[in-house]
Structures are given as C-alpha cells and as structure tokens.
C-alpha cells in the first residue's frame, strides 16, 4: 500500500530550505524587517537586567529615591517598546506569510494540473494532498516562528554573551564551555531526526490515501461488509505512524534534556565562582545579579534551539516533499517545428495513426507494449468504430489522441498535422473526448457541459443537451443551474454519461473521441441518442470505442484491435461475415470448430484467420 517514495536527495536541511527563496523573495523586506525588529526587541529584553543592576548598584545602594523613580520609568519605557515591537513584528508578517503559503499552494495546484496523466497514475492523490495541506502549513509555521527565532535567538545569545563577557569575562568564559558539546549534539540530532521526520510525513500521506479510498469505495466496503477489515488496515497504518512519532519524541526528549541540563550546569558553576568573587570583593553584588539575570534570560533562547532545529528539520523535509513534485517537468509544447510537420500528401486529412506504439512509461523495458503498431486512417468526416476484446488497449489508444499519454513510437496526425507539433491547448480544442467514466465536476450542469466549448452560448448548450437526450436537466431543482458533481446533486450513471456526451459534442469539435459513450443508457434512450448523435457525427471525424452492435452502427467503418495491432478494418457487415473474432465479440455466438463453448476461451482460436495477426500463444489457459 505505501507509495514508492523517491529517496531523499542528499541535501542538507539548509540547502532544502534555501529552495523556498523564490516564494519568500516577494515578502523579504517585511520578513527580514520583522526579524530585525524581533532582534531589537529581544536585545531590549537583555538591557532590562542592566537597568536592574544600575538600580541596585546606584540609587538603592545610595538610598536615592529619585534615582529609583528614574530607573523604574526607564524600565517601563523599555517594556512598552518591547511589547510594541513584538506586535509590529507579527503585524508585519501575518498577511505576507499567509500569502506565501497560499502562493505555494496555488503553484502546486497549477503545476499538478499540468503534469502528465502518467504522473497522476503513479501518485496517489492522498500523497499530493498531504503535500498541499499539512506540509505547506508546516512551512508557513516555519517562516513565522522557527526561522525568525533561530535568527533572533542566535543573535540574542551572541549579544548576551558579549554582555556577559563585558560584565565579567571569567564568568562569561565558564558559560561558553558548553557551546562545543552542544553544537556537536545538535548536528548529530539533526541527522537522525531528518530521517524519522521524513518517514512520519510519508506515513501521513499513506494514511490519507487509505482514508480517501475508503470514502470513495464506500459502497464496495459496505456491500461486502468489509468496514471492519478496512478499519483494521487503517489501524495498522496509524499504529505504524504512532511508532514513528514516538521515535521522533524520543529523539526530541533526548536533545531537549541535554540542551536544558548542560547550560544550567554552567550557570551553576558561574554562580559558585561568582559568589566566591563577591566574597573576595572582586565583584559587586549588583554585577553578579545582573550577570545571572542575563544568563537566565538566555536560558529560553538556548533551550528553544532544540525544538527550533526539530521544526526546521521537519520544514526542510516538507520543502523536499513539495519540490519533489514541483521538480517533475511539465509537458513542453514542441511546436517550434510547426510548419515542417505538415504531411507531404495534402489529401491525407482526417485522423491518421502511423505505426503508433505505446508502452506505459513505468512499464519494464522488455515488457510487451500495450499498443504495438497501429496503422489506421480515419477519413475526414468519417466515423470509425474501434472494437476489441476487454483490455485490448482501446481506451489507451483513445487517450493518445488528446495526448493524455504520448505515443512511444510512430505518430498521429490530424488533418495532416502531427499532434506532437501543435500546442496541447490547440490540440485539445480540436479534439473532444467523452470518457468511459463520466466525471462531473462540482459546478452547475450548464458549466459542466459548456466546459467542452470555448465560450459556447445558450443555444449551443441546448443543442448539445438535446443530442445527448439530456433534457432531464430541465426537471432538476434549478434546471441547468443545478449544482452537480461531488458537492452537488448525485446523478445516476446514465444521466452522468449523457452529460459527458453533451460536453463532448457541445463545441462542435473537428475531431471526436467517444469511449463507449452509450454503455449506461437504457435501450429507449440509447435509440434516441443514436439518432441524434448520427447527425453530429456526420460533421466530424470521430473514433468511437464500441462494445455492442448498436454502438457500432453509429460508425461508417469498424477497426478491430487485436494484440496491440489493427487486425481488420471494414464495415460491420463485412467483418461480421469474414472475421470470426469480430463475430465473436459482437454476438458472443459460437465460433466454428471445437466443442468448447467459444466464449470461454480467449479470442485466440480465431486469430489464425486474421491477415497478418500473430497467433497468440495463450491457448493453454482454459478454465
């Protein structure tokens, strides 16, 4: 069930996080301005102990009430400034950083929409979704807190140490001792933590996938009463995540404990040494108070380094995961050689497949390709039915025309123009598709249909709906404005199919690809749709995947797809007479020879009759 995850590249956390720069750049002034303000505010915090020292050593020692007032007033002023600066910092970054998250998400969405279908076949939407939500939220959090505070706290610590060293350099040096071990510990921690953090995030993605599938497949789960086993599978995954998270916590607990203890021990040592110095008279009590007060003020910045590093590490992983997807190249349009691609024979219009082969990009090198060599010419205005056994590659072939997948060999031309030479945008304008699975989007009926046409009007919509016999939409609660799709009214399979068909024909496309467009319609509706569709098909060049004679009747000619090749082309009647495999597919009627019921065996036995077809060697697989 887990996705195959790309091994994280050997990139350090800093290198990963630096990749965020393009997104941070537009808000850099505010972000760094805010960081600067935070640094100033933090340093003000460090000045407060100095004022205390001044009060203790000065007015208090000299019993000067006026001085005390002055000191307190100064303290108040510092306090107010600090508070206001903190507020300004947050105010400065609030909207811009929310904007960074949003623009990253928008980019991700934009990019994903334009990645090839092959990419989406490989990646579950749960993994993509977890990148678009949890990972990006983490990154925003990172920019708001850890990034700024790593900067602020480091500066605070540095300035703090300078103050400490100036006040009493011997004691200051004592506090500096733990720095070396702490740095080493932190870097060891960072390495270990990054591995676990990545694992946890990936497991969240897997969990999302299970949730999504169990919702989308709810009818099957219910239908077979499998919700308990589904819940068990979910539990196993979430327990795995829990184990990983506990591992993370163990690391975090360790680092945190060390980061608290080691500096505290140094402060203890400084206290003892300081007390001796005060006793010796080498140090004023006020200085010791101020020194320790400063040292203690540095406690939080030092302690926080632990979890700031952890959060940064997680953010680095989130960045990795984000760019893992963003780095996948979008499909380029290779329209540069535009003119040259035109066919030499001007009369070769229509839709032409020349030696088209296709193998899925993730298939093994030596595996049998889905489509071996398709040579087929559909004349302008002609409708060609595509018939073949289940799984023979009909749908795959139709996906090549709008370039949802690219043919791995050979080429497809539309009116003589190579489809790889035209921009996808234009190609998809020329070619309209009705998919086997009629997907409707969360939008109104009208919008769903009209998305097939670049700005079609009311009239077009009405025509398309009538071709698809989808007049039922007028009886919906809000007519064509009724919301459908996931967030709207749920329609029956037949209704959805008719809307998908209307969508395909609404723009009067030059080329039409219909994948079994009438499968879910009842006989009566089917007859009506056929009649209307026939008129549409007269005007376009079309390829129609067909499982049944009634659909085939829409076409002028039929192409039979066998074993990745076109094994026969002809009219329905011709093929019915001359081609045994075709007859078997169309009527299920017994094929000559053999006592075995014909339908039980694969189309193998008939393949010998086909011109140029290789006899498949799968005869042994009877039931």
Partner 1 sequence: MTSTTTGRPTEPGDSEESGSPEAVAVVPAERAGDPFDRDDLPTPRGATRALLVSLLRPLRGRVVVAALFLLIQQAAVQAGPLLVAYAIDSGVPAFRDEDYGPLIAVALGYALCSAGAGAMQYAFIKASARVNQDVLLDLRGRIFRHAQALSVDFHERYTSGRLISRSTTDVESLRELLSEGLQELIGVVLSFVSISLMLLWLDFGTGAVAVLSFVPLYLLVRLYQRRAAVIFASRSTAIAAVIVKFAETMNGIRPVQAFRREPVNDEVFRKLNHEHRRTNGDAMLENARYVVGSRLVANTAVAGIVLWGAYRVASGSLALGVLAAMVLYLRRLYDPIDRLSMFLNSYQSAAASLEKIAGLLAQTPTVPEALEPRELPASVDEHPGREVVFDGVSFSYRTGGEVLPRFDLTVPAGQTVAVVGSTGAGKSTLAKLLARFYDPTEGRVLLDGTDLRDLATPELRRGVVMVTQEAFLFSGTVAENIAIGSPDATRAEIEQAAKAIGAHDFIAGLPDGYDTDVRKRGGRISAGQRQLVAFARALLANPAVLILDEATSSLDIPGERAVQRAMDTVLHGRTAVVIAHRLSTVEIADRVLVMEHGRIVEDGAPAGLIGGTGRFAGLHRAWRESLA
Looking at residues 376 to 405 of the shown chain, list those that interact with partner 1 (rule: CB under 8 A). 389-391, 394-395, 399, 402, 404
Pick one of 278, 341, 348, 569: the residue that binds partner 1 (CB under 8 A): 278
**How many residues line the site for partner 1 (CB under 8 A)?**
186
Q: Which two structure tokens, joined as six digits, stand for 231?
A: 């819940």
Rounded CA separation 100/94 (Å): 10
Q: What is the signed CA dihedral for 408, 412, 418, 423, rounded to 10 degrees?
A: -70
Identify residues 510-529 at the interface with partner 1 (CB under 8 A).
Answer: 516, 519-527
Pick one of 22, 26, 79, 181: the residue that binds partner 1 (CB under 8 A): 79
Give the residue with the Cβ less far from partner 1, 411 or 548. 548
Pick one of 12, 69, 183, 361: the residue that binds partner 1 (CB under 8 A): 69
For position 94 contacting partner 1 by CB under 8 A, the verdict is yes
Contact assessment for residue 294 and residue 46, using Cβ atoms and an 8 Å cutoff: yes
x-marked contacts with partner 1 along 120-159 as a string, rule CB under 8 A = xxxxxxx-xxx-xxx--x--x---x---------------
For position 242 contacting partner 1 by CB under 8 A, the verdict is yes
Q: Which two structure tokens, joined as six digits, stand for 604?
A: 């193998």
Q: What are the phi and psi torsion angles at 406 (to 5°)?
A: -100, 135
Rounded CA separation 254/104 (Å): 34
Identify residues 350-369 at the interface with partner 1 (CB under 8 A).
Answer: 360, 363-364, 367
| Minimum distance from residue 347 beta carbon to partner 1 (Å) | 29
Pairing of strands 417-418, 431-434: unpaired
Pairing of strands 409-414, 565-570: unpaired
Give DSSP secondary structure letters for 419-459.
GGGS-HHHHHHHEEEE-SS----SEEHHHHHHTTSTT--HH
Give DSSP secondary structure letters for 156-192.
HHHHHHHHHHHH-HHHHHHHHTTHHHHHHHHHHHHHH
Pick one of 7, 10, 21, 63: the residue that binds partner 1 (CB under 8 A): 63
Q: Which stretch binds partner 1 (CB under 8 A): 18-26, 178-186, 318-326, 491-499?
A: 491-499
Pick one of 179, 185, 192, 293: the residue that binds partner 1 (CB under 8 A): 293
Give the residue with the Cβ less far from partner 1, 268 or 355. 268
| Exposure on the CB side of residue 249, measured as CA atoms within 13 A | 6
Pick one of 296, 329, 531, 615: the residue that binds partner 1 (CB under 8 A): 296
Q: Which helix (H) or strand (E) holds 371?
A: strand 371-378
For position 621 contacting partner 1 by CB under 8 A, the verdict is yes
For position 547 contacting partner 1 by CB under 8 A, the verdict is yes
Q: What are the phi and psi torsion angles at 357 (to 5°)?
A: -125, 155
Q: Which stretch binds partner 1 (CB under 8 A): 24-32, 72-80, 378-386, 534-542?
A: 72-80
- Three-class DSSP category at 6: coil
Q: Which helix (H) or strand (E) holds 414?
A: strand 409-414
For position 613 contacting partner 1 by CB under 8 A, the verdict is no
Q: Which stretch binds partner 1 (CB under 8 A): 20-28, 71-79, 377-385, 532-540?
A: 71-79
Pick one of 183, 492, 594, 615: the residue that binds partner 1 (CB under 8 A): 492
- Three-class DSSP category at 88: helix
Identify residues 156-215 at the interface with partner 1 (CB under 8 A).
Answer: 204, 207-209, 211-215
For position 240 contacting partner 1 by CB under 8 A, the verdict is no
Identify residues 300-319 at the interface with partner 1 (CB under 8 A).
Answer: 300
């Amino acid at each position: 069930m887990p996705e195959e995850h790309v091994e994280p590249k050997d990139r350090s956390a800093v290198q990963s996080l630096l990749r965020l720069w393009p997104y941070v750049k537009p808000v850099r002034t505010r972000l760094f301005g805010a960081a600067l303000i935070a640094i100033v505010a933090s340093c003000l915090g460090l000045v407060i102990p100095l004022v205390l020292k001044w009060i203790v050593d000065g007015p208090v020692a000299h019993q000067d009430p006026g001085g005390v007032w002055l000191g307190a007033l100064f303290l108040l002023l510092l306090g107010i400034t600090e508070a206001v600066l903190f507020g300004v910092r947050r105010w400065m970054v609030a909207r811009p950083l929310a904007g960074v998250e949003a623009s990253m998400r928008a980019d991700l969405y934009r990019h994903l929409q334009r990645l090839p279908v092959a990419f989406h076949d490989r990646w579950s939407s749960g993994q993509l979704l977890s990148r678009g939500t949890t990972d990006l939220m983490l990154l925003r959090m990172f920019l708001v807190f850890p990034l700024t505070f790593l900067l602020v706290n480091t500066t605070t610590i540095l300035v703090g140490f300078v103050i400490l060293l100036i006040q009493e350099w011997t004691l200051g040096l004592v506090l500096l001792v733990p720095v070396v071990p702490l740095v080493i510990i932190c870097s060891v921690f960072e390495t270990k933590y990054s591995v676990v953090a990545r694992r946890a995030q990936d497991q969240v993605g897997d969990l999302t996938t299970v949730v999504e599938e169990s919702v989308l497949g709810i009818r099957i789960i219910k239908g077979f009463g499998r919700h308990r086993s589904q819940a068990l599978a979910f539990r196993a995954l979430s327990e795995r995540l829990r184990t990983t998270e506990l591992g993370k916590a163990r690391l975090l607990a360790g680092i945190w404990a060390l980061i608290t203890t080691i500096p505290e021990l140094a402060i203890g040592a400084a206290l003892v040494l300081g007390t001796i110095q005060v006793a010796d008279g080498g140090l004023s009590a006020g200085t010791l108070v101020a020194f320790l007060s400063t040292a203690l003020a540095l406690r939080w910045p030092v302690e926080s380094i632990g979890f700031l590093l952890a959060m940064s590490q997680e953010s680095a992983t989130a960045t990795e995961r984000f760019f893992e997807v963003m780095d996948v190249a979008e499909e380029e349009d290779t329209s540069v050689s535009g003119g040259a691609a035109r066919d030499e024979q001007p009369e070769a219009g229509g839709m032409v497949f020349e030696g088209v082969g296709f193998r899925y990009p993730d298939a093994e090198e030596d595996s049998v390709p889905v489509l071996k060599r398709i040579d087929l010419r559909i004349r302008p205005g002609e409708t060609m039915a595509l018939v073949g056994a289940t799984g023979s590659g009909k749908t795959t072939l139709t996906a090549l025309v709008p370039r949802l997948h690219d043919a791995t060999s050979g080429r497809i031309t539309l009116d003589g123009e190579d489809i790889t030479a035209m921009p996808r945008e234009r190609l998809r304008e020329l070619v309209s598709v009705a998919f086997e699975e009629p997907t409707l989007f969360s939008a109104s009926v009208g919008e769903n249909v009209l998305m097939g046409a670049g700005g079609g009007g009311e009239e077009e919509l009405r025509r398309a709906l009538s071709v698809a016999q989808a007049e039922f939409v007028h009886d919906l609660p809000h007519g064509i404005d009724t919301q459908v799709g996931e967030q709207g009214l749920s329609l029956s399979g037949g209704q959805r199919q008719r809307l998908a068909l209307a969508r395909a024909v609404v723009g009067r496309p030059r080329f039409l690809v219909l994948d079994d467009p009438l499968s879910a319609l009842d006989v009566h509706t089917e007859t009506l749709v056929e009649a209307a569709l026939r008129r549409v098909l007269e005007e376009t060049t079309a390829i129609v995947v067909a499982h049944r004679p009634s659909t085939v009747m829409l076409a002028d000619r039929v192409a039979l797809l066998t074993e990745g090749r076109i094994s026969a082309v002809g009219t329905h009647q011709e093929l019915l007479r001359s081609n045994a495999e075709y007859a078997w597919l169309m009527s299920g009627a017994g094929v000559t020879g053999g006592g075995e019921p014909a339908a039980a065996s694969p189309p193998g036995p008939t393949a010998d009759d086909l011109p140029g077809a290789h006899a498949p060697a799968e005869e042994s697989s009877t039931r």
